[in-house]
Structure 1
Amino acid sequence: MRRFVAGAGGIGLALVLSQFPEYAQQYTQRLGGAVDELRIITTDFDNAALAEGLDRDQALERYAASSDSFLTGRGQSMAATYDRFEQLSQTLAEISNADPIARLKSLPAYLDTDIGRRTLEAYQPAVPVTMEGILYAGAGLIAGYLVVSGLWRFLMLPFRRRRPLYRPTE
């Protein structure tokens, strides 16, 4: 019975861990899409500034110096867009260059709340056919089996048959 329950636990954890590479891939795709869109916005702003003979900082300063609160707000929004673009670009580079183990350890730190939440909302499970997926599934199978088996043994200690300490001789 213990082996059956431990095997079921191992299979369950294998299924869960095998989904991590797929989630990481879907997250990376969404992150890449966000970076691409922010690149379009920031490049457009930079080009518009250059057309007026300004660099980015000069254009943002012009917005900040305006007495129009709408223009001041747009300038602050654009400065925040540049900051987000830099942050997400750096995160994308780190995730893209990470090996599978580093990605597992680091992805929670990289999760941008908006992108991570949207990825989970649209997440589609997949069968792990990559080496990374197979390795995660195998690790999950072994870890799940060992954890559930150990837990089963611990919980069954009070119900274990006790062997006599000595056998009377006849």
Structure 2
Amino acid sequence: MIKKILIAPARFIEAFLDRVIAFAGGLVFMQLPSFMVQYTQRLGGHLEELGLIIKKYKLAAEESGKSLNEYISLHLNSGVKEFISSGKLMEENLERFDYLNQAYNSLHNSSGINKLLTFIKNIDITIAKETWKDFTASISLSYESIIYCLAGIVFFMTIYLLVKKLIIFSVKHIKRR
């Protein structure tokens, strides 16, 4: 009799908990498209700013009658510590521009699940942290968001069920002792 009295609230709590977990999973995963959009906008801003800086490098190179590569080499081979440092900085900015440009184009031109995989493959941690810091959650009713929502429900429920089975297994194992 007491066992039946205790089981009813436990079943209610479990049913409530699994719905909360499913809702949380859907809500969390539903944010991925929004985060990727905000990340892409920030990535584009970084790319545009680097493009402006590189444009200034090119103008300075043209004014001295050199190509950009010759201009950078001139700095790197000058023998003057400060010029070598600025040459390295220019090289790093060009490399970063190429990297960000490739990442932006890959992300911008992908869709569906491929967009998520491209995002993961090309993520720039610094930009992702900046995006997260200013991230504004949103709920979109696009097909993409709904698919992510369903994936979140499946993922969170799978984790929940695995943890639940592990707990049940552990309790049964302890009782056998």
Q: How many angstroms does 1:75 deviate by?
A: 0.8
Verify the 8 A CA contact 2:38 2:135 in the aligned structure 1.
yes
Verify the 8 A CA contact 1:10 1:148 in the aligned structure 2.
no
Name structure 1 gaps, 5 residues minimum: 160-170
Match 2:71 to one of 27, 51, 59: 59
What per-residue deviation string (whole Å, max 9, x for no partner) do you get for residues 27-47 of structure 1? 111110000001111112112
Q: How does 1:94-113 map to 2 (within 5 A)?
A: 94-113=106-125
Q: Distance in 2 between matches of 1:117 and 1:154?
A: 34
**Counterpart in 2 of 1:31?**
43
Q: Distance in 2 between matches of 1:116 and 1:154?
A: 34
Q: How does 1:11-160 map to 2 (within 5 A)?
A: 11-145=23-157, 147-149=159-161, 151-152=163-164, 155-156=167-168
Verify the 8 A CA contact 2:30 2:148 in the aligned structure 1.
yes
Backbone CA RMSD of aligned residues: 2.1
Q: 2:133 corresponds to which letter in structure 1?
A: E
Name structure 2 gaps, 5 residues minimum: 1-10, 173-177
Q: How many angstroms does 1:152 deviate by?
A: 4.0
Q: How many angstroms does 1:61 deviate by?
A: 1.4
Q: Distance in 2 between matches of 1:74 and 1:155?
A: 59
Higher relative contact order (CA 8 A, sep 6+): 1
Q: Distance in 1 between matches of 2:111 and 2:53?
A: 31
Q: Alignment partner of 2:139: what SS?
A: coil
Q: How many angstroms does 1:120 deviate by?
A: 1.4
What per-residue deviation string (whole Å, max 9, x for no partner) do you get for residues 66-112 of structure 1? 23211111011001100000001001111111222122233233221
Verify the 8 A CA contact 2:106 2:118 in the aligned structure 1.
no
Q: How many angstroms does 1:139 deviate by?
A: 2.5
Q: How many residues align?
A: 159
Compute the TM-score of the two structures, normalised by the length of structure 1: 0.82
Q: Distance in 1 between matches of 2:82 and 2:165?
A: 67
Find out whether 1:9 has 2:21 as its counterpart: yes
